[in-house]
Amino acid sequence: MNDIDVEAVEEIDESVVPSGIEGPEYVLYGGKGGVGKTTMAAATALASARDGTATLVVSTDPAHSLSDTLETDIPAEPAQIREDIPLYAAEIDPEAALGDDPLGLEGGGLGGLGQLLGEDVTDPFTNAMPGTDEAAAIRLLIRYLDDERFDRVVVDTAPTGHTLRLLELPEVMDTMVGKLLSFRERLSGMMGTITGMFGDADEEDIEEGLDDLRVLRERIERLRTILQDPQKTDFRVVMVPEELSVMESERLLERLAAFDIPVGTIVVNRVMEDLADVADVETDWYVSPNLETCEFCQRRWDVQQKALERSQDVFRGHDVRRVPLFADEVRGEQLLRVVAACLEE
């Protein structure tokens, strides 16, 4: 096997790397762990902000890889991280995000309703949910839905599977509110009895809880509408050209389809192709895999080709973007701008 010489990334010509992205208000990256979701989110957000669009990129990866990718410290709450462009970022600890005010309601929860229904019902984001990072992503989307600071929100861990079941809550809440209103009306003259049955609950507690429940129901209903609207949301599935990743992507697409959430884009990362075949970006530093004399490269390319052949059902009906395998670690603005060019080609 021949050695591959790796050169450091040099300055990238401004004229050959496009700025900005064409896309909806919400861009969500989902996929198997380790396929490059954070890289894609960082590249997308950076390109968006360079076009003058106030953009928030949110990561719920506890490893804080967004900070490493963008090469800057990123706080737990959204803050502008560049003075020259409107790029905002937040790196969220999922456990902390779901600890205080998990529902994104001012005041920290569903008020007095918890005394009537119990925390298992009134706090649906926190109870031993296996995908805490995904639940945090939904919670953050609800929280930043109406934040006037941001014209676009990019999330690098998209909610999938069991967390999307939270989108079914509006119907459950309708039933809950109806039952509570009926309950209150029928027993409006017996508050003393109700207090005895439910501890310190009183009319004010019930009303406060109902108001909070209505607010949460409206927010989740709006979030569901947005996620199901391809004009507002692009759910992007990231995969690598390997059979296990293809299988995971197939399952993810099935789960999203079950919730009527369209996937606009499939991103295939780390493809052993020349950069010039993927994006119209001219660089002197890019090192292509040697598929002629490098046995390792040839065998890896064979694995990728088989996976790509199997991916045809995954690709069907979606925009497919390929990002090449870089010799350098993808971090910092220069390489992220090249990735963005591949995504928006």
Number of domains in the chain: 1
- The yes-or-no verdict on residue 229 having pLDDT over 80 is yes
CATH number at residue 35: 3.40.50.300
The percentage of the chain sitting over the pLDDT mark of 90, rounded to a whole number, equals: 36
The answer on pLDDT for 90 being more than 50 is: yes
Residue 152 lies in a domain: yes
Contact 259, 164 (CB under 8 A): yes
Burial 43-66 (b: 16+ CB within 10 A, else e): bbbbbbbbbebbbbbbbbbeeebb
CB atoms within 10 A of CB 95: 12
Per residue in 137-153, pLDDT (tens digit) is 677 777 887 788 999 99
Residue 1 lies in a domain: no
- 7 within some domain: no
Alpha-carbon gap, residue 73 to 137, rounded angstroms: 20
Q: Is 2 among the domain residues? A: no
Q: Check whether 250 has a pLDDT greater than 70.
A: yes
CA dist., res. 324 & res. 268, Å (int) = 8
Determine the structural domain holding residue 258 and report its residue range.
Answer: 14-343
**Which of residues 244 and 4 earns the better pLDDT score?**
244
Of 75 and 176, which is predicted with more confidence? 75
User: Per-residue pLDDT tens for 150-191?
Assistant: 999 998 876 665 567 666 666 666 676 666 666 666 655 555
Tell whether 138 is covered by a domain: yes
Structure tokens at 133: 């990072």
**Cβ(51)–Cβ(259) below 8 Å:** no
Write out pLDDT tens, residues 186-212: 655 555 554 555 555 556 666 676 677
What number is the average pLDDT over the span 216-232?
A: 85
Residue 113 pLDDT greater than 50, yes or no: no
pLDDT, residue 42, reads 96
Amino acid (one-letter) located at 105? L
Is residue 124, in this structure, part of any structural domain at all?
A: yes
Query: What is the Cα–Cα distance from 198 to 194, expressed in whole angstroms?
Result: 6
Is residue 123 within 8 A of residue 100, CB to CB? The reply is no
203 sits in which H/E element: helix 203-227
Residue 8 lies in a domain: no
Band (pLDDT 50/70/90 cuts) for residue 286 is confident
Mean pLDDT for 80-104 is: 76
333 within a domain of the structure (yes/no): yes
Whether 37 has a pLDDT exceeding 90, the answer reads yes
